[in-house]
Each structure stands twice: as structure tokens, then as C-alpha cells.
Amino acid sequence: MLFFACKPAATIVTSKEVAVKKGLYSEPKPLTVTETKSLEKKKKNTNTVSTSKSVTAETKSAKRAIVDNQNESDIIIDDENTSYLIRQLINSASENLGVGYRGGGTTKDGFDCSGLIYSTFKKFDITLPRSSHEMATIGTKIDLKSAQKGDLIFFINRGQRRINHVGMVVEVTDEEVKFIHSSTQSGVIISSTKEPYYNRTFVQLNRVL
């Protein structure tokens, strides 16, 4: 079961209009003349695919630039089926990439693993339990093969007997699941279940949205 703040459900940001009003989203600037010419040049130089495929690829590229207005460190969201809320959660968490680890931290001064997830969801008026092992008790457990963006992924590290680490899924392929989290050594980073350490310590995956 998902725990919400004691506020009306309407305060949860599920549309771009609401996000703009809350100051969580700014309308991106249109493509510059240089960017437009660059896309046209790439289109003309594409000889390895058919014309129709080339147009589609360039259209998607232009659409990402217009819709997402992302920074270099942002995660590109291509899946049109991913809900707007989940896209915003991922983008919000990604703004903290590079921030250092801090036990009990929930701000850009430093995050612990659950602090990053807690503060990211809290920004959208969704209140999760504060600790990783308590977060693991909410939502629905999902098989790793069925992982989707926005799912919470849990681990047991350092010989502990209960869950003590959490991240949020940001990308899923046939071979791996990538997640954003705050590690004690590197701070906020994106890791993969293909990495031996996380493959070995993975425990469960929960869907809370």
C-alpha cells in the first residue's frame, strides 16, 4: 500500500500544467536555428537506413529536445507509455547525480540511499516511509524480469540480515536494470544489476505507483 501525505490526491503532480503551477517544470525553449540545421544535416547524411526510418529518428530526436529540455546529466525518457509522474520522478532524482553521500541526508548537502528516494517522492507530495527496509514493505513485489521505470529496487549490503539499501529504476533492457541511488562511496550515481556486487546483493523489486 502506498503512503501519501495528508493532502488531497489532486496535489500529486500528474500533469504538465500542474507541474508548471507548482514550479516543478519550466516550458523548454524551442530549437535554435543552429540546432535545427544540425538535425537537417544529420538527416541528409543518413545513408544506412531508409528515408522513412531516418525521418522518424530525427523527429524523435527533435521531439526529445523540445519536450524534455534536458541537461547533459539528465536521463532521456523515450518510452511514451511511462507516466508523466514517473518521468518527473526520474528527472528530479537525476538532478542530484554527483551529490555526495551523507547519513540521514535528504538534501543536496548529501543523501543516504533512502533519503534520496524519500525526498524525490516527497517533492511530488508522495510520502514514503523514511528507511529502506520500511519502503520495502509498501507497494507490490515484482519479479526483476518485469521491472519498469519508477519501481523501487532493494538490496542487502555488508552482511546485514535485512534490507538496507534502495534505489529507483530509471532504465530497463532485456539484459539489465539500471537504477539511481546514493552509494556510500560515490554518492548519487546510476548503477546496473549487471554489476557483480548489485547482482549478488539484490533482494526484491517493488512497484509503488
Q: Which residues are catalytic?
A: 113, 165, 181
Asked if residue 203 lies in contact with residue 154, where contact means CB atoms within 8 angstroms, the answer is: yes
Q: 106 vs 20, 116, 140, 156, 183, CA distance in Å?
A: 24, 6, 25, 21, 14
According to DSSP, residue 148 is labeled -
What is the secondary structure of 44-99 as a DSSP string?
A: HH--SS-HHHHHHHHHHHHHHHHHH---TTSPP---TTS-HHHHHHHHHHHTTTTP
Q: 29 vs 12, 26, 73, CA distance in Å?
A: 26, 9, 18
Count other Cβ atoms within 10 Å, centred on residue 199: 11
Distance CA 135, CA 137 (A): 5
| Helices 33-45, 51-68: inter-axial angle, 10-degree rounding | 160
